[in-house]
A and B are shown apart, each in its own frame.
Chain A
């Protein structure tokens, strides 16, 4: 094992299920200590990738290395990775402490020592008082923490998280996002985080891989994914960006390519367009108030094009459907993209 070996490396990994290519020629490298998210709609191959790392599934072709060691044929129980399952998969017949101590128990750690370590892990996820409860007696958020403690107590070199926050309500989810990120920073373990929630992926990750139809469409830091999407799919999926056809972008004086345009980059003009902006007439179809922002859906005059516009809630108080507005589009905000998928 070399010092610089990545935590996880995929080389041209493909996984077929019959004629379906769940994972289709994926190459990726995850650095040790990195918070790496796999983002994509359901069926895009992200969970299959996670299962390939965990060893629950084997690639049809290609290679997966974990810390420089080829993982082909290595069963899940012999891998230095642990998983936090989507529905937690806690053992219903064991109390919380025994659940957390399970990994240590099967490795032959003595009862006293493994219970001490499990108690430590429970304290780490702020559940120190709940060791003697059964999983059914816990709330969803607490079960989630137990699942986390159960994985972390084994000191995995890579922690795999399969939509771990999916079943939690919004407030709890936001709290857990902060806690997970803090925990990851503290432990320095590589986290591989599977999610379909772009907000979650953007806010927590060092890097994000966007999956579509079994392939990675784009990998990069959250800012790059959000601001410079490589394809229309990324633009739409990550934060609901507008996609302008090449003809419209060219007409505005922008690049001759399909362009992404973030809703918050568009302004409402009351006078002539300032330097560097193109004016576009449109009619409001819908206006929604979202607290911090006001979201408008507008139909562009003379083009079969609808744009989402996000303006500060303080502006445009009297706007409603049917009203004509002039949009100011900064040319610098038009980001040309390579393709559709």
Chain B
């Protein structure tokens, strides 16, 4: 009896289909990609396009209806002092939160990437991810209680007899206020707490990919630890840091809940968008406000690329 080297073509629709897809890798790829691409193209890019279009319309001041002729008037309104204030305030806050997150995240990520093994690594992931499991609102309200005038922080300051320090901090111009929970410092603390994991995780991933022998090679060539950090570890971790900063920066730019719960009465971009498209009914101005973070992130990425942050990828 002879054994056939190749089996006969198999019967059945599914088998036929699987054989067809095996022979045509292009068709296989198309089948996999078309649904997500449709989703991305229509729902995601489509809504973004609708947003962009809306920002070029205007609102009739008397009737409150939308005038569909193309105009830059909404962008003109952005540059009015009150609105520009909101933009600048939000960008400064996002920048401060990003810098603080990077500074806090680096040692943690570095330890996790280079030193933590086995059990400690599991503890690290758990510690970083656990805050993400609980509700964002719960965390923010918890912080409000921590930072409130009669809250935990002031109680601790009182117990330790350092109320003077807390009062001194709160007396700082601009960032201070009647209590931590109603000052920019409070908003900043909560933002930094909430977005920190989004900085730690990409940073840790990029540090993990820095081969240990590059550090050894740098030392071998005569570099002190500080030089090794400056010339080898930091440049190679930069893509991760940029990735993390995209999260912390853009999440801060768009958030409208944290500044509403913790902080003063001054608006951030997210709150302005909420008010313009809700209470004020000015959809074009809301859209123009929304374009600001998109434009800023675009500029930011372009700048990061120009400085060679992605060269190590």
Question: A residues touching B (Cβ–Cβ < 8 Å)?
Answer: 54-56, 75-78, 81-83, 85, 87, 89-93, 102-103, 105-107, 150-151, 154
Contacts and interface: CB of A to CB of B under 8 A. Distances in A.
Contacts of B220: 54, 56, 76-77, 81-83, 151
Given A81-B220, A85-B213, A107-B222, 19 more contacts: A54-B216, A54-B220, A56-B219, A76-B216, A77-B220, A82-B221, A85-B216, A89-B216, A91-B217, A93-B308, A93-B311, A102-B218, A105-B231, A106-B222, A106-B227, A106-B231, A150-B221, A151-B221, A154-B222
Contact of A77 (B222, B231, B235, B308): B222
A56 B216 contact: yes
Given A92-B236, A106-B227, A75 B218 contact: no
A150 B111 CA distance: 29
B219 A102 contact: no
B41 interface: no
Nearest to A105: B231
Nearest to B227: A106
B240 to A, nearest CB: 13
B211 interface: yes
Contacts of A102: 218, 221, 223, 231
Nearest to A160: B220
B312 A76 contact: no
Contacts of A82: 220-221
8 contacts: A75-B219, A76-B216, A77-B220, A89-B211, A89-B213, A93-B235, A93-B308, A106-B222
Please classify the interface of chain B as helix (H, G, I), strand (E, B), loop, or mixed, using the class held by over half of its residues. helix
Q: Which 3 A-B pairs have the closest CB atoms?
A: A103-B221, A89-B217, A106-B223
B175 interface: no
Interface of B: 211, 213-214, 216-224, 227, 231-232, 235-236, 308, 311-312
B214 A89 contact: yes
A106 B216 contact: no
Contact of A154 (B213, B218, B221, B236): B221
A200 to B, nearest CB: 22
A164 to B, nearest CB: 13
A77 B216 CA distance: 9
A77 B219 CA distance: 5
B205 to A, nearest CB: 16
Contacts of B216: 54, 56, 76, 83, 85, 89
B307 to A, nearest CB: 12
B243 to A, nearest CB: 16
Nearest to A93: B312
B282 to A, nearest CB: 47
B217 A77 contact: no
Question: Considering residues A78, A87, A103, A150, which has the most beta carbons from chain B within 10 angstroms of its beta carbon?
Answer: A103
A302 to B, nearest CB: 45
Contacts of B231: 91, 102, 105-106
Given A77-B220, A106-B224, A150-B221, A92 B213 contact: no
A106 B221 contact: yes
A242 to B, nearest CB: 40
Contacts of A103: 221-222
Contacts of B311: 93
Question: Considering residues B211, B214, B219, B308, which has the most beta carbons from chain A within 10 angstroms of its beta carbon?
Answer: B219
B219 A76 contact: yes
Nearest to B215: A89
A237 to B, nearest CB: 27
A105 B231 CA distance: 10
B217 A93 contact: no
A56 B235 CA distance: 23
A98 to B, nearest CB: 10
A104 to B, nearest CB: 9
A102 B213 CA distance: 15
A199 B213 CA distance: 27
Given A91-B232, A93-B235, A77 B224 contact: yes
B118 to A, nearest CB: 15
Contacts of A154: 221-222
A83 B223 contact: no
